[in-house]
């Protein structure tokens, strides 16, 4: 009898806590993040119900802040500045995961399907895919 009351109490606590956890995770990805490559810093923000992210710094931008998007597959976009360029867009929250979004890679000028999964308050797993299963995952660390 005591065991089933404890089980009911824990189940009730879980149900009550679930909306609180979802609310916290909705903004967990918001902030500035260090990418795994080239010293990149991406600032992720809420864009309505979605998330978006802009490139704010990298090793190359520190050397030349006026770098342009010269590798873009769309020739008409090759003159836009990389600094401040929106590289993340279109993510929809699904539980603790932000899915259905896109990430733009200025190195090859292509856009990939992407998913963002918080792995704690100071770490994100960002997966980009040409198409599943051809994906690559990076771990991004929060910048303080």
CA dihedral 126, 127, 128, 131 (to 10 degrees): -160
Q: Is the pLDDT of residue 109 over 50?
A: yes
Q: Is the pLDDT of residue 137 over 70?
A: yes
Q: Is the pLDDT of residue 114 over 80?
A: yes
Do the beta carbons of residue 61 and residue 81 sit within 8 Å?
Answer: no
For residue 127, give the 3-state DSSP assignment: strand
CA nearest neighbour of 71 among 110, 111, 112, 109: 109
Q: Which residues contact 137 (CB under 8 A, 6 or more apart)?
A: 125, 126, 127, 128
Q: Following DSSP, what letter does each residue of 33-96 receive, concatenated?
A: EE-SSTT-EEEEEEETTEEEEEEEE-HHHHH-TT-B-TT-SSGGGTTSBSTT-EEEE--EEETT
Q: Is the pLDDT of residue 8 over 50?
A: no
DSSP H or E segment with residue 134: strand 134-142
pLDDT of residue 25: 52
Do the beta carbons of residue 29 and residue 98 sit within 8 Å?
Answer: yes
Q: Is the pLDDT of residue 15 over 50?
A: no
CA nearest neighbour of 51 among 85, 15, 87, 80: 87
Q: pLDDT band at 81, cuts 50/70/90?
A: very high
Q: Is the pLDDT of residue 134 over 50?
A: yes
What gap in Å lies between CA 28 and CA 52, rounded to an integer? Answer: 13
Lowest-confidence segment of 18-22, 102-106, 122-126, 136-140 by average pLDDT: 18-22
């Amino acid at each position: 009898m005591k065991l089933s009351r404890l089980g009911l109490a824990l189940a009730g606590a879980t149900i009550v806590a679930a909306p609180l956890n979802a609310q916290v995770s909705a903004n967990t990805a918001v902030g500035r993040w260090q990418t795994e490559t080239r010293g990149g810093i991406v600032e992720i923000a809420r864009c309505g119900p979605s998330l978006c992210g802009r490139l704010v710094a990298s090793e190359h931008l520190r050397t030349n802040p006026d770098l342009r998007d010269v590798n873009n597959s769309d020739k008409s976009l090759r003159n836009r500045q990389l600094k401040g360029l929106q590289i993340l867009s279109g993510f929809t929250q699904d539980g603790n995961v932000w899915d259905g979004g896109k990430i733009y890679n200025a190195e090859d000028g292509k856009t990939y399907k992407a998913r963002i999964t918080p792995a704690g308050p100071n770490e994100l797993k960002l997966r980009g895919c040409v198409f599943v299963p051809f994906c690559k995952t990076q771990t991004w660390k929060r910048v303080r």
